[in-house]
Amino acid sequence: MNQLAQELNKTLEGTAALELLSELGKRFYFPKGIVAQTMEAAEHAYKFVATVGEAKNKKKPVHLSVIRNFIPGLDPDEIFPYAPTPGIKEFRLLWKEHMIKKNPDLKVKKTSFPLVMPGITTGISIIADMFVDPGDVILIPDLFWGNYRLILEGKKLGTIVTFPFFESNNKLNLKAFEQAIEQNTSRGKLIILLNFPNNPTGYAPLKDEILPLTRVLEKAAGTGLKILMIIDDSYFGLFYEDTIYPQSIFTPLANIHPNILSVKLDGSTKEDFAWGFRVACLTYGGKGLSEEQYTALEQKTKGVMRSTFSNSSKLGQSLLIRALKSTIYQNEKAENIKLLKAKYEKVKAILDHAGNNSLLKPLPFNSGYFMCFELTKGSAEKLRHYLLYEKGIGTISIEDRYLRIAYANVELENIEELYEELFKAAEAVAG
């Protein structure tokens, strides 16, 4: 094992973080190679910089005007050079600042500095490399984004175990959650992945669900179980009801028990309606971790990042820096969320007016981009196929039992027609 990796492991001794690391995670480190030496040169080289593989002319990046002319508001230095592996420092500072504004209880909790990833998918893959060994159990609600399986099982050979997401009263099934934890403690290590607002259901936990959820985890950690909490906050902030817990569940979990290490994956993809920028962040939180230990975790993570994608988009980060510092950023974002809420309320009104449908049962939803129907009869894939090829309507079938509707992607004035066609199609396919 590399000496740098050994030193980082020694720094993490006595923490749940070290025990949770995969064999790969234990082996990894951030090398003192080209990237590290270039960063050092950027700080201290006052005469010439002959390190990184970039080209300069008259102290500006060599570039093509055919590209530059499409981005007139930015300086070439904000567009063309490589970004540092962990991300542009100013963006990371701004993101942490905004993260605390959105989650004010984090202000009194110690967390790591956000690391920048090209999308939350990459963040999940990086965390999987860091913490998942073949056979490790990953506990997830039974309604989850399909890419989790591809990454965690297909790529890392982990074992996904699910529990029923909802109780019969349409609230989180915390009893099933607790039972699933108790049934999967034999290895002494458990990985739990929660995604709110949830994809595919569009559900975020209510204020009165958070304390019971955190107590379940604290109780499990108290038995000696080491828990990695992966919090996928892809749709964070897209909340449409006052009863929703307004902060990320990372907030209460970031400093809850020494046996729990939490990682928050969030980003501008959905929060800032910048899907194609592929700019996301990864932040650690763990009770009792020192600054030196957070740095050790970051160094290991940066090593995995360096070996996977090297760095994220400079252009995307530069544009987001400008946006986050803008005086109109919050107002424009609020207007977009207002539009999504209007679509949500339209769907709710349609479903309330429709009453109980014997074929399509809507699952609880209160946030995000989606809602799901559970089919009480027939095949979701057949219904999807019929809607697409007979009616020209695209939807997503899941496990041949659920139909996901991304109502956020449909014009407000067309939502009523969409649901009329859905109900008619369900009857046609079932008949």
User: Could you give the residue range(s) of every CATH 3.90.1150.10 domain in the chain?
Assistant: 334-430
Nearest alpha-carbon partner for 132 in 115, 112, 154 = 154
Tokens 């109502």, residue?
A: 407
**Cα–Cα distance, 58 to 68 (Å, whole number):** 16
Nearest alpha-carbon partner for 140 in 94, 180, 98, 101 = 180
Which tokens sit at 430?
């079932």
3-state SS string for 207-222: HHHHHHHHHHHHHHHH
| Local confidence pLDDT in tens for the 431 residues of the chain | 899 999 999 999 999 999 999 999 999 999 886 666 766 666 665 566 667 788 888 888 889 999 999 999 999 999 999 999 999 999 999 999 999 999 999 998 999 999 999 999 999 999 999 999 999 999 999 999 999 999 999 999 999 999 999 998 889 999 999 999 999 988 899 999 999 999 999 999 999 999 999 999 999 999 999 999 999 999 999 999 999 999 999 999 999 999 999 999 999 999 999 999 999 999 999 999 999 999 999 999 999 999 999 999 999 999 999 999 999 999 999 999 999 999 999 999 999 988 777 899 999 999 999 999 999 998 999 999 999 999 999 999 999 999 999 999 999 999 999 999 999 999 999 87
Query: How confident is the model at residue 261, as a pLDDT?
Result: 98
Query: How confident is the model at residue 41, as a pLDDT?
Result: 60
Output Rg (C-alpha) for the chain, integer angstroms. Answer: 23
**Cα–Cα distance, 278 to 269 (Å, whole number):** 6
Length of the chain: 431
CB 357 within 8 A of CB 392: no
Query: How confident is the model at residue 358, as a pLDDT?
Result: 81
Helices 174-182 and 207-222: crossing angle, nearest 10°? 10
Query: How confident is the model at residue 108, as a pLDDT?
Result: 87
CB 227 within 8 A of CB 260: yes
Which tokens sit at 348?
């709710």
CB 228 within 8 A of CB 267: no
Query: How confident is the model at residue 200, as a pLDDT?
Result: 96
User: Could you give the residue range(s) of every CATH 3.40.640.10 domain in the chain?
Assistant: 3-30+85-324
Query: How confident is the model at residue 84, as a pLDDT?
Result: 92
Alpha carbon separation from 31 to 8, 15, 128, 297, 305 (Å, rounded) = 12, 23, 20, 14, 11
Nearest alpha-carbon partner for 143 in 363, 351, 299, 313 = 363
Reported as half-sphere exposure (CB side, CA atoms, 13 A), residue 176 has a value of 15
Tell me the CATH class for 334-430: alpha beta
Alpha carbon separation from 305 to 126, 242, 380, 383 (Å, rounded) = 7, 38, 38, 41
DSSP 187: T
Other Cβ atoms less than 10 A from the Cβ of 149: the count is: 15
**Cα–Cα distance, 375 to 363 (Å, whole number):** 10
Instruction: Provide CATH code, domain 3-30+85-324.
Output: 3.40.640.10
Residue type, 177: F
**Cα–Cα distance, 228 to 265 (Å, whole number):** 13
Other Cβ atoms less than 10 A from the Cβ of 391: the count is: 14
**Cα–Cα distance, 99 to 93 (Å, whole number):** 10
Query: How confident is the model at residue 58, as a pLDDT?
Result: 85
- The DSSP string of 100-127 is HHHSGGGGGS-BPPPEEESSHHHHHHHH
Which tokens sit at 201?
């259901």
Model-level pTM? 0.94
